Amino acid sequence: MNEASHVALFPCAGMGHLIPFLRLAADLHSRGAAATIITAEPTVSAAESDYLSNFFATFPRIKRLQLHLLPHKKSQLTNDDPFFIQMERIADSVHLLQPLLSSLSPPLSAAVVDLPVLSRVLRLASLPIYPLITTSARFFSLMASLSHLPPHENDRLEIPNLGSIPVSSIPPPMLDPNHYFAAMITTNTAALREARGVLINTFASLEPEAVEALRRNGVDHILPIGPLPPFKRSETVIVLPWLDEQAPESVVYISFGNRTALSKSQTRELAAALEMSGCKFLWVVKGSKVDKEDGEEVEAMVGAAFLEKTEGKGKVIKGWVEQERILAHPAIGGFVSHCGWNSVTEAAALGVPVLAWPRHGDQRVNAEVVERAGVGVWEREWGWGWERLVPREEIADKLRAVIGDGKLRAAAKEVKQEARRTTEVGGSSQRLLQGLMESFKTN
Ligand code: UDP
C-alpha cells in the first residue's frame, strides 16, 4: 500500500461522466492510492446525488471535496442543454478550487479531470494532470482533430490516419463554432499536450485503428485503461426476480441511458413493436432529459393496455436500475442501446449483442464502433432521435433478428474475451493502470 499517492478526480455533469470517474477512483483506491472526488454542487440530476451518496457510503476512506458552483453566467455561446450548462458553470467555478486543493493532506500527486475543465485546471494547478475521456477513441479522434479539419466538401469528414466519418454522424452542435459544445472541444483539446497522459475508457483491441490514429495525431500519450470495471456497492441490489425465471439469452434489455427520453409517439411505436415481436423484454423508460422533472407514471407512458397484454412477457421500469448487473444476467440476450459510451463498454465487457439506436451526441460514432468491433448491429436508416418516427414493424423485425442471431452472439462473446484479457493481470489496460500508480509515486 502506498498511501502517499493521493489523486483528485474531478468529473463534470451527468451520470455518463460520473460513473467512469468513480470506477477509476475505486480502482486506484484498491491499488493503494488515497483518492478525493471533487463534486460540483448542486448536481443536475437526482441520479448523480444519489449515486454519490451511495459511493461515499461504500468507500468511507475516499474523500469528498465539494465545489459550490457560482450561478450560471450566460455567454455568447449557444447552450440550452442543462448538462452542458452545468459544464460551463463548473468551468467558470474552477478557480474556487485553488485554496481547497492546496489544503488537501497528503498533498496531491496528480489530478484526473473531465475534458470540459482541462484547460482551466491546467492553469490553476502545478500538478500532473490527466484528462479521463469518457467517450470512444473514435469520437475522441474527431474531437482532437476538430480545430484542424479542413471544411468538408462532401458528406464525409476526413480524420487524419483514421479515414472518414460521415457528416451525418457528427452531432450538429459540434460543427457550429458558436455552440458551447464546439467551443469546449476546441479550447480543451488544444490543452491536451500539457496533460501528463490522456486516460480513456476504452481498450485497444475494441477500436485499434482509432487508438493508433490518436497516437499518430499528436495524442501519443493516450492511455486506454478500459473497460473500467464496476465496483461493488454497499446496498443490496435486487436484480428482478422475474429475470431469474427466464430462459438463458431470451430477454432483450432496452435502455437509452440517463439523459435521453423518447418522444411520446416513438415510445408508443416501441411498445407496439415489443408486443408484435413476441420477444421477452426488460424496458427502462424515461420521460424527460432531467430526472427531477420526470413525473409521468409508467402506465401513462406506455399505456395500460400494453402492460396488460405483455404481462409475464416483459417488465417496464421507471427509475434507476443496476444496468451492469442486468447485462451480466444470463437471461439477457440482447441490448437495445442509444450507444452512450458507458453502455457500449459494459455490453462489450459482458458480451451482450447490441442493437444500436443512437439518438444524439457521440452515439452515432459509437454505434459505428459497436458494428466494427462485432458487438452489435446498427440500422442507419433510423436516423437521429429527432429525424423520423421509426415504425413498429421495422423495430419488431430488428428485435427478432438480433435476439435470434447466433453469429452475432458468438462475436459479442469473443469481444468479451478480449475485454477480459485486457483487464486481467498482465493485460494491456491493467499494465497501464499499474504504470499510472507507479508514476503517481514518483511525481
Ligand atoms: N445506468 C444505470 N442504470 C440506469 C441508467 C443508466 O446503471 O437506470 C448506467 C449505465 O450502466 C451506464 C451509465 O449509467 O454506466 C450511462 O452512461 P452512458 O454513457 O451509457 O449514457 P448516458 O446516460 O451518458 O447517455
Residue 223 shares a structural domain with residue 325:
no
Residues 247 and 327 placed together within one structural domain of the fold: yes
Are 213 and 334 part of one and the same domain? Answer: no
- Predicted pLDDT at 154: 78
Strand partners, 157: 165
Looking at the structure of the chain, the number of domains it has is 2
For residue 38, tell me if it sits in a domain. yes
The pLDDT assigned to 260 comes to 87
Out of 27, 81, 114, 362, which one is annotated catalytic?
Answer: 114
Is 226 in the same domain as 283? no
Distance CA 429, CA 436 (A): 11
432 alpha carbon – ligand 1 mean position (Å): 25
pLDDT in tens, 405-425: 999 999 999 999 999 999 999
| SS3 assignment for the chain | CCCCCEEEEECCCCHHHHHHHHHHHHHHHHCCCEEEEEEEECCCCHHHHHHHHHHHHHCCCCEEEEEECCCCCCCCCECCCHHHHHHHHHHHHHHHHHHHHHCCCCCCCEEEEEHHHHHHHHHHCCCCEEEEECCCHHHHHHHHHHHHCCCCCCCEEEECCCEEEEHHHCCHHHHCCCEHHHHHHHHHHCCHHHCCCEEECCCCCCCHHHHHHHHHCCCCCEEECCCCCCCCCCCCCCCCHHHHCCCCCCEEEEECCCCCCCCHHHHHHHHHHHHHHCCEEEEEECCCCCHHHCCCCHHHHHCHHHHHHCCCCEEEEECCCCHHHHHCCCCEEEEEECCCHHHHHHHHHHCCCEEECCCCCCHHHHHHHHHHHCCEEECHHHCCCCCCCCCHHHHHHHHHHHHCCHHHHHHHHHHHHHHHHHHCCCCHHHHHHHHHHHHHHHC
Q: Is residue 406 part of a domain?
A: yes
| Digit-coded pLDDT (tens) for 224-271 | 999 999 998 766 566 789 999 999 999 999 999 988 889 999 999 999
Predicted confidence (pLDDT) per residue in 90-103, tens digit: 999 999 999 999 89
Query: What is the structure's pLDDT at 237?
Result: 61
Asked if residue 396 belongs to a domain, the reply is: yes
Do 228 and 276 lie in one domain? The reply is no
Question: What's the 293 CA to ligand 1 centre distance in angstroms?
Answer: 18
Q: Residue 65 falls within a domain, yes or no? A: yes
Q: Is 114 a catalytic residue?
A: yes
Substitution candidate for ligand 1 out of 342, 352, 354, 357 with most atoms within 8 A of CB: 342
In a domain, 46, yes or no: yes
395 and 252 belong to one structural domain: yes
Rounded Cα gap, residues 325 and 349, in angstroms:
12
Cα(328) to ligand 1 centroid in Å equals 15
CATH code: domain of residue 310: 3.40.50.2000
Identify the residues whose C-beta falls under 6 Å from ligand 1: 14-16, 19, 255, 257-260, 284, 320-324, 340-343, 346
Atom of ligand 1 nearest to the CA of 341: 19
Question: How does pLDDT run across 34-79, given as a tens digit for each residue?
Answer: 999 999 999 999 999 999 999 999 999 999 999 999 999 999 999 9
Residue ranges making up the domain that contains 266 = 241-419
Any domain includes 171:
yes
Tell me, yes or no, whether 266 lies in a domain: yes
Residues linked to residue 131 through DSSP beta bridges, in sequence order = 113
429 and 287 in a common domain: no
pLDDT exceeds 80 at position 187: yes
pLDDT recorded at residue 307: 96
pLDDT for 443 beyond 70: no
Atom of ligand 1 nearest to the CA of 322: 7
Whether residue 335 contacts residue 343, with contact meaning beta carbons closer than 8 Å, is answered with yes
pLDDT at residue 233, as a whole number:
75
Separation of 87 CA from ligand 1 center, angstroms? 18
- As to burial, measured by CB atoms within 10 angstroms (0-12 exposed, 13-18 middle, 19+ buried), residue 123 is exposed
- Residue type for position 437: M
Residue type for position 241 = P
| Assigned domain for 1 exists | no
Q: Which of 6, 17, 179, 329 is catalytic?
A: 17
pLDDT band at 277 (very low <50, low <70, confident <90, very high): very high
pLDDT tens readout for residues 364-375 = 999 999 999 999
Q: Are residues 146 and 260 in the same domain?
A: no
What pLDDT is recorded for position 10? 98
Q: Which atom of ligand 1 is nearest to the CA of 319?
A: 8
This prediction's pTM: 0.96
Domain check: are 296 and 365 in the same one? yes
Residues 6+ apart with CB under 8 A from 125: 97, 98, 101, 108, 111
Return the pLDDT at 386.
86
pLDDT digits (tens, 9 = 90+) for 104-141: 999 999 999 999 999 999 999 889 999 999 999 999 99
pLDDT at 1: 45
How far is it, in rounded angstroms, from Cα 279 to Cα 301?
20
**Which of these, 128, 166, 132, lies nearest to 365 by C-alpha position?**
166
Q: Which residue lies with its CA nearest to atom 17 of ligand 1?
A: 16
**Same structural domain, 42 and 67:** yes
Say whether both 28 and 58 belong to one domain: yes
Query: Going by CA atoms, what residue is nearest to atom 11 of ligand 1?
Result: 323
Cβ atoms of 188 and 115 within 8 Å: the answer is yes
Q: Which atom of ligand 1 is nearest to the CA of 16?
A: 24
Same domain assignment for residues 83 and 37: yes
Note if 17 is an active site residue.
yes
Determine which residue's CA is closest to atom 13 belonging to ligand 1.
16
